[in-house]
Amino acid sequence: GIQVEQSPPDLILQEGANSTLRCNFSDSVNNLQWFHQNPWGQLINLFYIPSGTKQNGRLSATTVATERYSLLYISSSQTTDSGVYFCAVSDRGSTLGRLYFGRGTQLTVWP
């Protein structure tokens, strides 16, 4: 299966700071999503971004499929941004529905 690596594993920020989370994947993909897992365990879909750049408020994401990486940018971070951020991909070679997840980045934002 596809290997997904996320960095950094942990990130501690002061409120108002900016951050960049990275996701590397080992093979061609036809789906890439960024999720935020809230304290209650739910995975909240942030971006569906197999390629290109998208922005949603203070968050934006860029995927460079040919170089097999994606970046998630968080600007002016807030305490509510705390939680675990996951990157997940689907294998381009398969039409079957399976996501491969990275181990996540644990973000802690202090007031």
Least Å from the CB of residue 16 to other proteins: 29
**What Rg, from alpha-carbon coordinates, does the chain have?**
13
CB-based burial, 63-95: b 16+ in 10 Å, e otherwise = bebeebbbbbebeebeeebbbbbbbbbbbeeee
Closer CB to other proteins, 17 or 101, in the complex: 101
Coil, helix or strand at residue 81 = helix
Site residues (CB under 8 A) for other proteins, limited to 45-104: 45, 48, 86, 88, 90, 95-104
Residues 15-44 that bind other proteins (CB under 8 A): 30-31, 33, 35, 40-44
- The binding site for other proteins (CB under 8 A) comprises 30-31, 33, 35, 40-45, 48, 86, 88, 90, 95-104
